[in-house]
Amino acid sequence: MEISLLTKILFSLLGLFIVFNYGLLQAGVMRKIVARVAGRYGIPIYQPYIDLIKNYSKRTQITHGVMFYLGPVFRFSGGIGLFFFIPMIYGSVYWQNFSFSGDIILLMYFQFFGMLGMALGAGEGGQPNSIIGISRGLAQFTAVEVPFTLAIISIAVQYDTLSVYDIVAAQQGGIQNWTLFTNPFAVIAGMFAFLGLMRHAPFNVVMAPQEIPIGPPTEYHSTYLGMLQSNRVVLHIVEAVLFMNLFFGGATSWLELIIKSFFIYFITVFIGVVFPRYRVDHTVRWFLKIPLVFGILAVLFV
Amino acid sequence: MSGLDDLKKKMVTGPDGEQFEVNPINDYYCSKKPEVTTPAHPYIEKFFNWARANSLWVLGWGTGCGSIELPPLTTPRFDMYRYGVQMRPTPRQACVFIISGYLAVKTLKRVIRAYEQMQGPKFVIALGSCTINGGMYYDSYNTINRLDYYMPVDVYIAGCMPRPEAILSGFVALKKRIKEGKGEGANEYAEKFEWYKANQKKIIKQWDMPDYNW
Amino acid sequence: MNLILILGFMLLAIGFWGMLTQKNMIKIVIGLTIAEVGVQIIMISIGYIKERTAPILDSAVPLADAVNKVVDPIPQALVLTAIVIGVAVNALILSFIIRLYKEKKSLSIDDYKEMKW
Amino acid sequence: MVNIIYIIILLLGIGFLLPITEKLGKKVSNSMFFLTLTSVSVISVQWLYAFIINGQTSLQFFTAGVKPPLSINLQLGLSESVFITSINILALIGAVYLIKHFNNIGIRSHVLYLLMILGLNGLVLTRDIFNIFVFLEITGISTYALIGSDLRLKSLIASFKYMLAGGVASIFLLLGIIFLYHNTGTLNIDGMIAASPLQSGLKIAGIAIFFLFFALLIEMKQFPANGWALDVYEASNPGISGIISAAGTAAILFALYKVMPLGNDLWFNTIAVIGIITFIASNIMGIKQKNATRLLGYSSIGQLGLLLAAMGLGFLYGGINGKFQFIIFALFISHFIAKAGLFWIAGIVKKKEIKSWGVLRKSPVLLFFTGSFMFALLGFPPFPGFFGKWELVLTLANKHQFLWITAILLGSLIEAIYLIRWFGYILKEKQEENETIEQGATKYSSVFILGTILFTISGLYMIYNPITNLSFYFYPLLFIAFLFITDNILPAYIKNILSIAGLSYYGYVYFNQFSEFRFIFAVIFLAGGILTLIPGFVKKGKRVGFYPSAIIMYVGLLGLLVAKDMFSFFTAWEFMTIGSYFLIIRGKRSQPHALSYMLFSLGGAYLIMFGFALTHVFSGGNGIALDLLNSIKSNSALIFTMLAIGFLTKTAAAGLHIWLPGAHAEAESDVSPMVSAVLLKAGVFGLILIMISSLRFDAKMIIYLLGWLGAITALLGNLMASFQEDAKKLLAYSSIAQLGYILFALAIMSHIGWMAAIWYAMNHFLYKALLFLAVGAVVVKLKTHNMYEMGGLIKQMPFSFVSVLIGIIALSGVPPLSGFGGKWLLYNAFILKGWYLQGAIIAFSGVVAFLYLFKLINSIFLGPVKDNFRKVKEVSIWYLIPQYIIIIAIMVISAKPKIVLGKIGDFITSYMPDNLVVWKGDVASSYMNGKLFGVWDAPNIMIIIGIIFVTLLSWLLIMSRKAQKVEMFNIVYSAERPESPQTTHFSHNIYSHYRKALGFLALPLIVNFWSFIVDSIHSIADFVRRLYNGNGQAYIMHILGFMVIIYFVLFNGGLF
């Protein structure tokens, strides 16, 4: 069934709205869970909304220059763009966004769009600690990309396609068809990469609070910070949806999507609560050891 | 280099051998004065104030001995998060500055700098007697006696030291004040900028920074 | 004839021995000269035919009978040339040695090794 | 025609007359001296003319009125006339050069000179073996005396050693002659050859020929019995050294050539081996030599060895006629002119150390000729040696003598080490201001004439060579010659306009002639050429030397595309190499890098030459058409490997890359994009050529390895780029990595893989030119390469910042710019090919690229600005114009990749029909087993991202329109304030943690490997040259030892 471009745009925007709100709530829930693990009462789950409104409502603002100004725009474009290129709900023509423009390689490389813009913006901020954070982030990302790429190669070969939609399609028909069970090595490698991508402990030295005050966004505040926060919530959901599509059979309804992506994201939070922090050089080496082995196994036994 | 030396004017040589003067204070820093900001439409402002009151981001910096009372706030027993209070490591993102106890002159300079780097609206909570009247250090040669000579204070929390419970109640008081629209310390600072600066410069002999740290 | 040939080779050997062992440049040149003489003797001995006379047309060797009476004349002519040339070379070398001696006051070949490698 | 005997009569007669005429005054004697030499030259030229143009057959001249054997006869044929003409003309020019020297010494030197020339003429002409001895001695005695006549201690010693060696040689010569005479009964060479003494079976004949040849080998200064010769070259007046090195050895070579037929195959082989050992050994020893004239001596001896080897091989393979005549003459004339010229220049420079030869820069003409002579010696086009070497290699290949080819090429490469290094010193080594070189019309004019002759002969070779038609180069070379002549006259901008016009004209003329991938490379070369020439308008003054070099390079590049046969391809390759070498060495500190560039290029070029020769042989031995690559019948894998390694030296694959970073980084700012964005593609072009040919044979294993090599190159290049602090070096390492991607993509050998490769090649051309232009311009402006010294320049140089930003986005492969196309094609290609592990390495290195790209833009343009750069302005508009043209191009192909990729795809289909990329509108899709695999909709992606970006930006603008603009130190700094921009700018070694984790991959192992090789060669050189301990006695010992060795070799061979 073909739908008009306008419908498509409207549904995509609606999807974005849903994801944005879900992301904010999910962030609240996750923080609540972390608080409960620590034995605290924790924030109200709508706290992310308040924080966001507060940041947008700041009265003063400074700018270090054009690139500093554009940094959050790049970052948020990266997040929203990634959302637009990922199919959300399997089987529905309305929730495919613009995923027909490219395939998983587009998604892999589009991740960098926001990162690069943010890095440049923070760079113009001139805070040396931001650049330390960026250098750590980029370094960590290179290592994370290895198992991720191997996992993607593996499932691309497994399903004979690079299209995310087709990969989801191939996993339909029961839980036994999920990549999780048909190609466990790829999933292990991929989920390791997911931990690195989400930057929870033990891989959160990039933004190490207090140490380098907060890494790349040290100079960002007010509306900029609001945009970065908005991006963060969208991006977390989108990344989780991507991994859901690749490894966990995708979703045929919003409910399924919310449940699955919640648990996928929860894995990183769970591990983050349990483990201490790695230094960057440890992270790089670690990703080139165990996850790499699983990645290689994944492409060898596909 | 230390002190004022690195802020002196200097001649530098460009890549083509041309000589020119660099005046760090003017060239490195923005020399604009702070401006009074106007609130939005009252209804919107009310909504904003509600959000500001429920999202208090505290600059994670202890200035005096009272800072020892802050970490317990994050523990299960006191758990400040439930009030929407959390620590931020950078003044750019923080909106509440807790002056935790006595302020040495040396520290005051840093406090002023950090305060000015926070974006408005911003709030100051002064902790302990020292910030009110100097406390046990009232006659010290190098601590200040009254904080509000140097920056507008929203809430004072008395005690030496105030316990975490007191701090929590201070937060509640601050929330109330913000919701009432009285949390305009930033504007006050801008309005009485000259006065505050004069006070600050009176006590800080080695003034090695621009008048306002953006 | 063989005896003379052997003599020639012996002189050659002595000459080379002299050139290789003596440090005095004049002695080296003498070695070279001895070796040259050896070669000249070898040349003559090769041109020599037994019981014949020198290839000089005089009363003892009539022109008509010369072909059968004299030894091969060409080596002898060659030797003459070689001797002339050899003498010229020797003279030149010796004059150079004199020059060198004047410059450095030494005749030892070991003292003239600045240029090497 | 004048009887040739008059040459001898004239030289001898006037020689003896001169001391008498001296009484009439110097003028009279000098004019007589010159008149004699002129008339002798005229006579020989006249005969040469008769032989070449009128087709005269060879003549015999008899002395004493009777025929041999009773008299001595002179023979004059084509070869003789060529040799005596060369000798006499050189003698004439040499006399001009030396006349001051001679006048200082007195009339005896004039006499000696004439006698020497007489001896040389005689050596060439006579057919009597004893006469050879006589002429040899005449030459010898006059040379000894001439060397010693300036009465300097050094010349006396050298002459003394020479005399000892000559005396020993003449002893053996006499022995040989007399035994031969005894054996054959004649002194006439023709008679002896007719008697074929070796075949007669007499033992004594073997000994006789042994002595004869041995004496001549000593006179030919063969290794190791040549210590004395080096002293002669070093010590005597360079003018005389030049004559000895050129004319003297020419005559002795010819004498040997005459008696060579007395030998048999064993002898020919032995002589060739001795020659090649001398060639290699003396070149190796030359590496360690610092003294200019002695170094020239080593080179002379090496060249003699090569000539001897060629002659021995010629006799071995059917005598010196046809091909071998061509080869030997070409090699001979190069050496002859070049060596004399270099010795004479040494006489003008008068500097002992080769490092102090920088004074030559004071005289551009001499500098030009020095370069020409050196490149002639090395056998570069258009000089004759190039043709000689090519034919030699091809002929030997036809005889399956691969070891010989290897040895010859190895020797040549070693020779290149010291000559190029020396030339580098001349061009770049620091020189004290007050140093001057001798002025004087006579010496300059003789060098000038010699150079002119060299170029005339080279021109004739280019036009009339029998190998192939090189007419393509006619007008370009004229243009280059014009640029050279006017180099010191015209201002740079006129030359720039001319060069751009020239390139555009060639583009216009040849554009329609190219098809398929040649067309794409033509676009890269021509557009790249024009774009990278535009910044030249910045330069004030004359910019001497730049334009000829650039045009030589571009002509070479175009020549590659025009070439239809392997020889013209190779010619173009060498032109390109020379041109780029001169471009690269223009940088301030690029001398060592240019040297290593040249050596790697030359090594690669020799491999390519070898490969071409093998192609010729193993495709049936018919012709040298480039298409023969497609019809190799056997040994295809070997040939493929050779050619591939040859081309990979140009693309700087891992292991062969060490020349690139320095060469590209230290080059001038507008040269870097030329050599990086444009020149590297030549190697890619070569790779594509051989990869297409590899479709016809089985080279799967090698191509598989090439794929791995490409992946590793990409990773190592990117890693090392991340650890650089020098902005241009960073870009240079990035080029290595990018070429690694291209190699990897080519090795995939599928439609989509090749599409990726060519897309990468085009894109790398665009963004690397962009980055190098932008960063290069900044570097010029700031006068530093170090990124940590820059910073914060975005405010001063916003346009450059945008260029770099676009460049890095395109390079990194982030959508929506064109780089993503490359990534998409590459991922599809390697997944479809099944190269998962290599692909993962490629993907990994693709991410590592972000490290250095961020570092590049951040360290230069972001962060705090340093005090001394506060007042810098935007770079020159001439740098920005090409940048923005490139940006437009990038934008166009990013939005509509199909306009380029569609065409590329069309012609690749004819070679590789598998794994097609299918276009539906603007959407590219790949298929696996007929099923849709991947999709890429470039315009759509661009639109979506554009809309999102613009929306968010407008939102931010609305939300925070009143943001306060602050200065660089208004940053949070832990409530402190930053002290100085230097301490606040975090740029140096920002990936220290990455170095900690993965630095072991970027250890300089390859550099260490190559330094080990270099050190070993130097150590060997130093060890071997200890042989020449300076003791005359030892040299005699060497001669005797050499004799014993040859004797046993021949004895073993069964000669005795």
Neighbours of chain A (3+ CB pairs under 8 A): B, D
How large is the average pLDDT for residues B78-99? 90
Q: Contacts of residue D1022 in chain C, CB cutoff 8 Å?
A: 117
What's the 3-state SS for chain A? Answer: CCCCHHHHHHHHHHHHHHHHHHHHHHHHHHHHHHHHHCCCCCCCCCHHHHHHHHHHCCCCCEECCHHHHHHHHHHHHHHHHHHHCCCCCCCCCCCCCCHHHECHHHHHHHHHHHHHHHHHHHHHHCCHHHHHHHHHHHHHHHHHHHHHHHHHHHHHHHHCCCCHHHHHHHCCCCHHHCHHHHCHHHHHHHHHHHHHHHCCCCCCCCCCCCCCCCCHHHHCCHHHHHHHHHHHHHHHHHHHHHHHHHHCCCCCCHHHHHHHHHHHHHHHHHHHHHCCCCCHHHHHHHHCCHHHHHHHHHHHCC
- The residue with greater pLDDT, D248 or C48, is D248
How large is the average pLDDT for residues B17-39? 87
Three-state DSSP class for residue B139: coil
Q: How far apart are alpha carbons D82 and D71 in whole angstroms?
A: 25
Which pLDDT belongs to residue D24?
84
Q: Please give the structure tokens belonging to residue D505.
A: 């004209």
Instruction: Give exposure, D107-121, as e/b (b: 16+ Cβ within 10 Å).
Output: bebbbbbbbbbbbbb
Give residue D1054's region: left, alpha or beta (phi > 0; psi -120 to 50): left
Q: How far apart are alpha carbons A42 and B76 in whole angstroms?
A: 9
Which pLDDT belongs to residue B1?
39
Q: Contacts of residue D972 in chain B, CB cutoff 8 Å?
A: 90-92, 114, 117
* Spatial CA neighbour of D311 closest among D365, D423, D388, D246: D388
Please count the other Cβ atoms lying within 10 Å of the Cβ belonging to residue B38. Answer: 8
Name residue, tokens 């005054």.
Answer: D25
Q: How far apart are alpha carbons C83 and D877 in whole angstroms?
A: 82
Q: Contacts of residue D948 in chain A, CB cutoff 8 Å?
A: 77, 80-81, 84
Q: Judge: B93–A60 Cβ closer than 8 Å, yes or no.
A: no
**A118 cis-preceded (ω within 30 degrees of 0):** no
Q: How far apart are alpha carbons D232 and D242 in whole angstroms?
A: 11
Q: Contacts of residue B47 in chain A, CB cutoff 8 Å?
A: 53
Q: How far apart are alpha carbons D517 and D523 in whole angstroms?
A: 10
Which pLDDT belongs to residue D736?
92
Residues 47-66 of B with CB under 8 A from D: 61
Q: Does B31 touch chain A (CB under 8 A)?
A: no
Q: Where are the beta strands (DSSP E) in D551-629?
A: none
The domain of B173 spans 52-201
Q: Does D1025 touch chain C (CB under 8 A)?
A: yes
Which pLDDT belongs to residue A241?
92
> D196 vs chain C: nearest CA distance in angstroms?
20
Q: Judge: C23–D1033 Cβ closer than 8 Å, yes or no.
A: yes
Three-state DSSP class for residue C58: coil
Q: Does A57 touch chain D (CB under 8 A)?
A: no
Q: B120-148 pLDDT, tens per residue?
A: 889 999 988 888 888 888 888 888 888 88
Q: Does D64 touch chain C (CB under 8 A)?
A: no
Q: How far apart are alpha carbons B96 and B122 in whole angstroms?
A: 6
* Spatial CA neighbour of A302 closest among A167, A164, A193, A151: A151
Which residue on chain C is closest to D69 by alpha carbon?
Answer: C74
Give strand pairing partners of D403: none
Q: Judge: B84–A58 Cβ closer than 8 Å, yes or no.
A: no
Q: H or E stretch including D645?
A: helix D636-651
Q: Please give the structure tokens belonging to residue A107.
A: 């998604």
Decide the pairing of beta strands B123-127 and B155-157: parallel
Q: Does B213 touch chain D (CB under 8 A)?
A: yes
Give residue D866's region: left, alpha or beta (phi > 0; psi -120 to 50): beta
Q: Which residues contact D1008 (CB under 8 A, 6 or more apart)?
A: none
When CB atoms are compared, the residue of D182, D289, D1029 closest to C46 is: D182
Q: How far apart are alpha carbons A187 and A164 in whole angstroms?
A: 15
Q: Does A101 touch chain D (CB under 8 A)?
A: yes
Residues 835-894 of D with CB under 8 A from C: none
Question: In this predicted complex, what is the ipTM?
Answer: 0.91
Residues 180-209 of B with CB under 8 A from A: 186
Q: How far apart are alpha carbons D558 and D522 in whole angstroms?
A: 7
Please count the other Cβ atoms lying within 10 Å of the Cβ belonging to residue D564. Answer: 14
Q: Contacts of residue D926 in chain A, CB cutoff 8 Å?
A: 162
pLDDT at B37 over 90: no
Which pLDDT belongs to residue D84?
92
How large is the average pLDDT for residues B12-25? 88
Q: What is the CATH number of the domain that holds B152?
A: 3.40.50.12280
Q: Contacts of residue C16 in chain D, CB cutoff 8 Å?
A: 1036, 1040
Q: How far apart are alpha carbons A69 and A124 in whole angstroms?
A: 9
How many Cβ contacts (< 8 angstroms) between chains A and D? 248
Q: Contacts of residue B90 in chain A, CB cutoff 8 Å?
A: 213-214, 218-219
Q: Which residues contact D525 (CB under 8 A, 6 or more apart)?
A: D554, D557, D558, D561, D678, D681
Which pLDDT belongs to residue D927?
85
Q: H or E stretch including B22?
A: strand B19-22
Residues of chain D with pLDDT under 50: none
Neighbours of chain B (3+ CB pairs under 8 A): A, D
Q: Judge: C99–D171 Cβ closer than 8 Å, yes or no.
A: no
Neighbours of chain D (3+ CB pairs under 8 A): A, B, C
> A118 vs chain B: nearest CA distance in angstroms?
17
* Cα Rg of chain A, angstroms: 19
Contact D315, D399 (CB under 8 A): no
* Spatial CA neighbour of D672 closest among D544, D760, D597, D583: D583
When CB atoms are compared, the residue of D794, D984, D991 closest to A139 is: D991
Q: Does B11 touch chain D (CB under 8 A)?
A: no
Q: How far apart are alpha carbons D617 and D120 in whole angstroms?
A: 40
Residues 189-218 of A with CB under 8 A from B: 209-210, 213-214, 217-218
Q: Judge: A126–D971 Cβ closer than 8 Å, yes or no.
A: yes
Q: Judge: C100–D157 Cβ closer than 8 Å, yes or no.
A: yes
Which residue on chain C is closest to D144 by alpha carbon?
Answer: C92
Whether B59 is covered by a domain: the verdict is yes
Which pLDDT belongs to residue D454?
93
Contact D341, D365 (CB under 8 A): no
Q: Does B89 touch chain A (CB under 8 A)?
A: yes
**What angle, rounded to 10 degrees, do the helices at A104-125 and A222-247 form?**
160
What is the residue-averaged pLDDT of chain B? 88
Q: Judge: A214–B88 Cβ closer than 8 Å, yes or no.
A: yes
Which pLDDT belongs to residue D69?
66
Q: Does A54 touch chain B (CB under 8 A)?
A: yes
Q: Judge: B28–D968 Cβ closer than 8 Å, yes or no.
A: yes
Q: Contacts of residue D847 in chain A, CB cutoff 8 Å?
A: 141-142, 145
**Counted domains in chain C:** 1
Contact D618, D635 (CB under 8 A): yes
When CB atoms are compared, the residue of B20, B32, B90 closest to D964 is: B32
Interface residues on C facing D, Cβ-Cβ cutoff 8 A: 12, 16, 19-20, 23, 25, 28, 32, 35-36, 39-40, 42-43, 46-47, 74-75, 78, 81-82, 85, 88-89, 92-93, 96-97, 99-100, 103-104, 109-110, 112-117
Residues 90-149 of B with CB under 8 A from A: 90, 92-93, 95, 119-121
Q: Which residues contact A184 (CB under 8 A, 6 or more apart)?
A: none
Which pLDDT belongs to residue C115?
85
Whether B107 is covered by a domain: the verdict is yes
* Spatial CA neighbour of A221 closest among B59, B39, B119: B119
Give residue A91's region: left, alpha or beta (phi > 0; psi -120 to 50): left
**Counted domains in chain B:** 1
Q: What are phi and psi of A61, to 5 degrees?
A: -160, 150
Greatest extent of chain C over all pairs of C-alpha atoms, in Å: 62
Q: Judge: D972–A127 Cβ closer than 8 Å, yes or no.
A: yes
Interface test with D, best of C33, C90, C117 (most D CBs within 10 A): C117
In angstroms, the Cα distances linking B129 to A153, B102, B132, B160, D204 are 65, 8, 5, 6, 124
Q: How far apart are alpha carbons A42 and C17 in whole angstroms?
A: 108
Q: How far apart are alpha carbons D754 and D776 in whole angstroms?
A: 31
Whether C40 is covered by a domain: the verdict is yes
Which residue on chain A is closest to D944 by alpha carbon?
Answer: A81
Q: Contacts of residue A64 in chain B, CB cutoff 8 Å?
A: none
Three-state DSSP class for residue D902: helix
Q: How far apart are alpha carbons D4 and B210 in whole angstroms?
A: 99
Q: Contacts of residue A115 in chain D, CB cutoff 8 Å?
A: 850
Q: Go through chain B and tell me how many residues it has.
A: 214
Please count the other Cβ atoms lying within 10 Å of the Cβ belonging to residue D1049. Answer: 15
Interface test with A, best of D806, D929, D948, D954 (most A CBs within 10 A): D948
Whether C43 is covered by a domain: the verdict is yes
Q: Judge: C19–D181 Cβ closer than 8 Å, yes or no.
A: no
In angstroms, the Cα distances linking D1029 to C24, D154, D228 are 17, 15, 10
Give strand pairing partners of D917: D926
Contact D740, D714 (CB under 8 A): yes
Which pLDDT belongs to residue A1?
60
Which pLDDT belongs to residue D983?
87
* Cα Rg of chain B, angstroms: 19
Task: Read off the amino acid at residue D275.
Answer: G
> D900 vs chain B: nearest CA distance in angstroms?
43
Q: How many CA atoms lie within 13 A of D671 on its CB side?
A: 28
pLDDT (tens digit, 0 to 9) for every residue of chain A, 302 residues total? 678 888 888 999 999 999 999 999 999 999 999 898 888 998 999 999 999 999 988 888 888 888 888 899 999 999 999 999 898 888 888 888 888 888 888 888 888 888 888 899 988 888 888 889 899 988 998 899 899 999 999 998 888 888 888 888 888 888 888 988 898 999 999 999 998 888 887 888 887 777 777 788 888 888 899 999 999 999 999 999 999 999 988 888 899 999 999 999 998 888 888 888 888 888 999 999 999 999 999 988 87
* Spatial CA neighbour of D679 closest among D593, D768, D613, D751: D768
Q: What is the CATH number of the domain that holds C96?
A: 1.10.287.3510
Q: How far apart are alpha carbons B116 and A224 in whole angstroms?
A: 19
